[in-house]
Amino acid sequence: MTAKISLVEEFVNTQYAPLGALYAHYQANQVLAPLAEVGIASKTRDFSPTDKLNQVLVSILAGCQTLSEVNVKLKHELPLAHALGWPRIADQSNLSRLLDRLTQKQIEQLRQATTQIWRSRSATCQHDWRGYLWLDYDFSGLPCSLRAEKSQKGYFSGKKTLRDAN
């Protein structure tokens, strides 16, 4: 499937358009190809086991902390599913059943596949270790308003701060 990103006349709305673009990039560069090598024998009714593994990954990238959130966050996202090449997103129970049925051997294959994926994309693995790896830690606090989203009173070492400034 070749992804095409452009303006269209019809009304299409999804809050996960960046996720669709990222997944299209993954497909074009065969980033997730190692997942197809995980040997999961399963009935293929609507989705293959590889499709379900990819949907678990998509749910993680969409911010689902548990698979039970798939039905709430992604189930109604048909434009996203169509953009990713699926008729819809699988039900969370189907995704859970697939993961529950994995044997130790299949889990090891999945671990090897994901390790292969992140190692091929990791900048740290490609770093020239003969030189320095610069890490920048900035622990300086920045004041914010009480009305800032999720703001809390913080601690600034050696500084007196007003409650309103934190």
Reported as a single tens digit per residue, the pLDDT across 101-117 is: 889 999 999 999 999 98
pTM of the model as a whole: 0.66
Q: Which has more pLDDT, 10 or 46?
A: 46
Evaluate if residue 145 carries a pLDDT over 90. Answer: no
pLDDT of amino acid 105: 92
Catalogue the long-range contacts made by 87-91 (C-beta closer than 8 Å, 24 or more residues apart). 87/46, 88/46, 89/55, 89/58, 90/46, 90/47, 90/51, 90/52, 90/55
